[in-house]
Amino acid sequence: MNNRKCFSIVISVICLILFSFPPLIYAHAYIIKSNPYNNEVLKQSPQKVSIQFNETIQSVNNSIQIYDEKGNRVDQKNGGINPKNSTILECGLNHNLPNSAYRIQWKVISNDGHPVQGVISFQIGPGNKAKDGTTVSQKSNGYTPLLDLIIIRWIQYFSNACYVGILFFYLLIMPNELAQNEFVKTRFLRIINFSFLFLLFSILLNLPLMASIELTTSWSNVLNVQTLMDMVRNTALGKIWILQVDDLFFLSIFTYLLNAKKFNKPLFPWISFIFGIGLLLTKALTGHSFSRPNPTLPIGMDFLHLLAASIWIGSLVGIIAFFSLSKMMETKNLYFEILRRFSKWGTVIVLVLTTTGVFGAFLNIPNLSSLVYTDYGNTLLGKVILLVVMIIIAAINFLKGKRKKEKGLSTSLWSELITGMIVLLLSVILTNLPTAMASPGPENVTKIVEHAGSITLNITPNAIGENTLQVSLKDQNGQAMSNIEQVTLTLTSMERGMGDDTITLHKGTDGIYKAKGMDLNMAGRWNVHVHVLTKELNTIDTDIRIIVGSQ
């Protein structure tokens, strides 16, 4: 059985296992509903407060506390996860709270290990806020990757890519005439050993890293057996970490056998390759894809994205490591044959990266404005730009290899690899940022209504709490409509059955109608039905789907 058939069987088996894998964890929790909602004015004291999130949250390391305007705590100190619904954090309140302003301070841990915290304000009875009409913006802060996470996870990504990619390079790209060369085998083993050591180092550091993030404390406070054991026993990421350590154990055995047998047993490189891919799969199990109700396909796409990137980066390391072969007359033609073979795989790799990347972007980017208004969108744009640069450099290297031009090839190969390393760095940041779904930015949608004109809906800031809703009306000639009697919006949450909320907009200039309100009190998908009544009693109607952010 040749190596290409072996590779096809390996990938097919892994995909079969992957698509049969049950959902384990979710990523980056955000509020979809709170009771009371932000800036709500209540007529009487509630018995409890509750916050519902878009996903299951961990049962440990969460908190919810309620304070009055003097800073006194007014809850019953019984906050925790609702036993019947693990997406809800709730807490009982003291009885008969007086009329005053209050704030809810909350913190939860997403099942991907990222802390999310914030403040929700509400009021009981009339008071200063109600009198002057001011509101307080809801504060919700997701985890922002710090230097320790970025460095450790980048080392893990890069070393895993080197391990998997260099074995792929040996098994499917390296010509047989070179694969049996003692110099080539020795250099392959050196790269594999260094990759394994850095992979081991980064995965072992992942446990105290996760503990420091979840507990929002320093490393010195988590480097003890009890804290680390609690992480392993009580958190979803702890269980994934155990899978990674198990995988590393078997990987260490076959890495040792590779060194002992020096690639003379063809089965050992394939088994090592499979366990290396297994570590990539565990990374896909901790990404954004688990935030989906049906995460199997998104996880599969994430895994293929990681695999394609790892093969590209690791193969580049191999091409650069063996560049000296291009300077020897007896191996020069074989080296350029390596470039020719890699270019064929490169086309497939780019197609996989593009397909899976576009799929992921559609899941995590609700609209084009979120590319500008969110950290996630900005980071994704940077990654896409660098990936395009990397493809251009790869095309230049392909042409040099085809023409067997050694001059400048080393520099351009290093440029391609360094660009790829920066792309991996941005991937680390991207994976650990809240997606743009949590903060999509202002919504601006235009619908063309047949035989009537256009309706443009603008919602700012398009998040839970107070929003400015504006409708712009233009006729078929592009002129502002002036014969309008009334414009109403009917807001319907598509996440929960909450009923409809209809508001009437007030006229500004011709064709412009506005309103401010707290009607969007839940994050997620909403349907906005725009109803326009003209002075001739004709109606213009359209529906617009939007995604409301939580922060």
Position 416 scores a pLDDT of 93
Cα-Cα-Cα-Cα torsion 137, 368, 527, 551, nearest 10 degrees, comes to -20
Note the pLDDT of residue 494: 79
206, 260, 258, 285 alpha-carbon torsion, rounded to 10°: -20
- Whether 443-548 and 31-141 are alike in CATH topology: the answer is yes
Which fold is adopted by the domain 443-548? Immunoglobulin-like (2.60.40)
Using omega within 30 degrees of 0 as the cis cutoff, is the peptide bond preceding 145 cis? Answer: no
* Domain ranges across the chain: 31-141, 144-438, 443-548
Q: What pLDDT score does 132 carry?
A: 43
User: What DSSP state is assigned to residue 76?
Assistant: -
Q: What is the pLDDT of residue 17?
A: 44
Q: What is the pLDDT of residue 139?
A: 54
**What 3-state class would DSSP assign to 403?**
coil
251/94 Cα distance (integer angstroms): 56
pLDDT of res. 86: 83
Query: Tokens in use for 364?
Result: 């995590």
Contact by Cβ (8 Å): 440, 461: no
Could you give the CA distance from residue 465 to residue 516 in angstroms, rounded to a whole number?
10
pLDDT at res. 3: 55
What would you measure as the largest C-alpha separation in the chain, in angstroms? Answer: 90
Q: Where are the beta strands (DSSP E) in 30-154?
A: 31-35, 40-42, 48-53, 63-68, 80-82, 85-92, 100-109, 115-124, 139-141
Q: How far apart are CA 205 and CA 198, in angstroms?
A: 11
Radius of gyration of the chain (CA): 28
Whether residue 461 has a cis bond before it, omega within 30° of 0 = yes
Mean pLDDT by 10 residues, the chain (551 residues): 54 48 47 80 90 81 88 89 88 90 87 77 72 48 81 95 94 86 88 96 93 86 90 85 93 91 81 93 74 70 92 94 84 87 90 89 77 84 92 90 83 93 92 77 85 87 84 88 88 74 86 85 83 87 85 65
pLDDT the model gives residue 12: 52
d(CA 397, CA 406): 10
Q: What does the alpha-carbon distance between residue 464 and residue 523 come to, in Å, rounded to a whole number?
A: 6
Which pLDDT belongs to residue 197?
A: 96
Question: Phi and psi at residue 360, in whole multiples of 5°?
Answer: -65, -35
Q: Which residues fall within 8 angstroms of residue 343, CB to CB, at 6 or more apart?
A: 398, 401, 402
Q: Give the number of other CB atoms < 10 A from CB of residue 474.
A: 17
The half-sphere exposure of 516 on its side-chain side, counting CA atoms within 13 A, is: 6
Classify domain 31-141 by CATH number.
2.60.40.1220
Tokens of 40: 């709500």
Residue 46 one-letter amino acid: P
- Residue 385 amino acid letter: I
Q: What is the C-alpha separation between 106 and 490, in angstroms, rounded?
A: 31
Q: Structure tokens of 449?
A: 């209504």
**Closest to 525 (Cα-Cα) out of 450, 440, 404, 460:** 440
Q: What is the pLDDT of residue 167?
A: 94
Whole-angstrom distance, CA of residue 229 vs CA of residue 77: 26
Classify residue 388 as exposed, middle or buried by CB count within 10 Å of its CB (0-12, 13-18, 19+): exposed
Q: Is 496 helix (H, G, I), strand (E, B) or coil?
A: coil
CA-based nearest residue to 390, from 308, 302, 301: 308
Buried b / exposed e along 228-267 (16+ C-beta atoms within 10 A): bebbbeebbbbebbeebeebbeebeebbebbeeeebeeee
Alpha-carbon gap, residue 37 to 54, rounded angstroms: 15
Q: How far apart are CA 380 and CA 240, in angstroms?
A: 26
Pairwise CA distance, residues 193 & 536, whole Å:
80
